[in-house]
Chain A
Amino acid sequence: MSENKTISSKIGRPRPLSPHLQIYKPQFSTVLSILHRASIVTLYFGVLALAFTLYDYAFFAKCPLGDWLKTTDEGQILTKIVLSGYALAASYWVCATIRHLVWDAGFGFDIKTAWRTAQIVMLATLVLTASIIYFAGIL
Chain B
Amino acid sequence: MSDSISKIKKSRAIAEGCHEWAAERIYGLFSIPLMAWLVVSLIMLARGDYSNLGNFLSYAHNVVLLILFLGFFTYYTSLAMKVVFEDYIHIEWIKWCAILKLRLFGILFFTGGTLAILKIFLKG
Contacts and interface: CB of A to CB of B under 8 A. Distances in A.
Contact of A58 (B25, B77, B116): B116
Nearest to B53: A57
Interface string A90-113: 100110011011001000000000
B39 A58 contact: no
A18 interface: yes
A51 B67 CA distance: 10
B87 A94 contact: no
Interface string B89-107: 0100000000000000100
Interface stretch (A24-32, A38-46, A67-75, A116-124): A38-46
Contacts of A97: 28, 31-32
B59 interface: no
Interface residues of A, number: 34
Contacts of B73: 43, 47
Interface residues of B, number: 35
Nearest to B102: A44
B35 interface: yes
Given A58-B119, A93-B35, A138-B46, 5 more contacts: A41-B77, A41-B81, A52-B109, A58-B116, A137-B46
Interface of B: 25, 28-29, 31-32, 35-36, 39, 42-43, 46-47, 53-54, 70, 73-74, 77-78, 80-81, 84, 87-88, 90, 105, 109-110, 112-113, 115-117, 119-120
25 contacts: A17-B87, A40-B81, A41-B77, A41-B81, A44-B78, A47-B70, A47-B109, A48-B105, A51-B110, A54-B53, A56-B116, A57-B53, A57-B54, A57-B116, A58-B115, A59-B119, A87-B39, A90-B39, A93-B35, A94-B32, A94-B35, A98-B32, A101-B28, A101-B29, A138-B46
